[in-house]
Amino acid sequence: GDSVTQMEGPVTLSEEAFLTINCTYTATGYPSLFWYVQYPGEGLQLLLKATKADDKGSNKGFEATYRKETTSFHLEKGSVQVSDSAVYFCALSGGASKIIFGSGTRLSIRP
């Protein structure tokens, strides 16, 4: 069945460092891909999405490109801030009703 694998955390970076969180997926067909973010004590927020191959989703300085050839959707940000500290979830929606989530990556940014 469909699945999402993302890098295990926690990831700790200094402010202004470059961020990459790896995400790969397995799916039949052509799923849509998402990154959701969960800030401490809050619910899930949609960060960005891409619906077809080579699409780039972007929001708040974060970017991810839908790579069909490598079945990947890595999250990147050029310069992280303390306020980016959160748990990040890669997810896919393949046509069924549910969204399939990765296990989440906890990101901590040191000032």
Partner 1 sequence: DSGVTQTPKHLITATGQRVTLRCSPRSGDLSVYWYQQSLDQGLQFLIQYYNGEERAKGNILERFSAQQFPDLHSELNLSSLELGDSALYFCASSVKAGVYGETQYFGPGTRLLVL
Q: Which residues bind partner 1 (CB under 8 A)?
A: 31-32, 34, 36, 42-46, 49, 51, 89, 93-101, 103-104
Beta strands in the chain (DSSP E): 3-6, 11-14, 19-21, 23-26, 32-38, 44-50, 56-59, 62-65, 75-77, 86-93, 100-101, 105-110
Smallest separation (angstroms) from partner 1 to the CB of 100: 8
For partner 1, which is the closer residue by CB, 13 or 38? 38
CB–CB of 74/21 below 8 Å? yes
Smallest separation (angstroms) from partner 1 to the CB of 58: 15
For partner 1, which is the closer residue by CB, 51 or 83? 51
